[in-house]
Copies of this chain bind each other. A is one copy, B any other.
Amino acid sequence: MKRGPTGEKNEAVSAAAPERISVSGPPHESTAWVGVGLLERAAEYLRSPSGRFLLAAPPAARAAAAAVRRALGTAVLAEIAIDDAESAKTLASAERVADAALAAGTRRDDAFVAVGGGVVTDLVGFVAAILFRGVAWNAVPTTTAGMADAAIGGKTGVNHRLGKNLLGAFHPPGAILVDPRALATLPERDFRAGLVEAYKDAWIGDPALAARAGARLSDVLERDEGALLELLAGSVRVKAAVVLSDPKEGGRRRILNFGHTLGHALEAAGGFGALRHGEAVAWGIAAAVEISRRRAGLSASDADAVRRVLAGLGPFPEPERDPRRLREYLARDKKTTARGLASVLLDRIGSAIVDETVPLEEWLEAARIMSLS
Contact = CB atoms under 8 A, between A and B. Distances in A.
Q: By DSSP majority rule, is chain A's interface helix, strand, loop, or mixed?
A: mixed
Contact of A336 (B91, B107, B168, B338): B107
A268 interface: no
Interface stretch (A38-46, A128-136, A251-259, A358-366): A128-136
Given A102-B163, A132-B166, 5 more contacts: A95-B160, A99-B160, A103-B162, A130-B168, A133-B155
A327 to B, nearest CB: 14
A27 B247 CA distance: 12
A162 B109 contact: no
A132 B102 CA distance: 26
A132 B170 CA distance: 10
A167 interface: yes
Interface in A257-308: none
Interface string A137-180: 00000000000000000010100101101111110000000000
A133 B108 contact: no
A129 B167 CA distance: 9
Interface in A205-226: none
A9 interface: no
Interface string A112-136: 0000000000000000011111100
Contacts of A169: 129-130, 133-134, 169
A251 to B, nearest CB: 14
Given A91-B91, A95-B91, A133-B157, A102 B166 contact: yes
Nearest to A158: B130
A107 B168 CA distance: 15
Contacts of A337: 50, 107-109
A163 B102 CA distance: 10
Contacts of A332: 102
Contacts of A27: 248
Interface in A318-341: 332, 334-338
Contacts of A134: 169-170
A50 to B, nearest CB: 5
A98 B132 contact: no
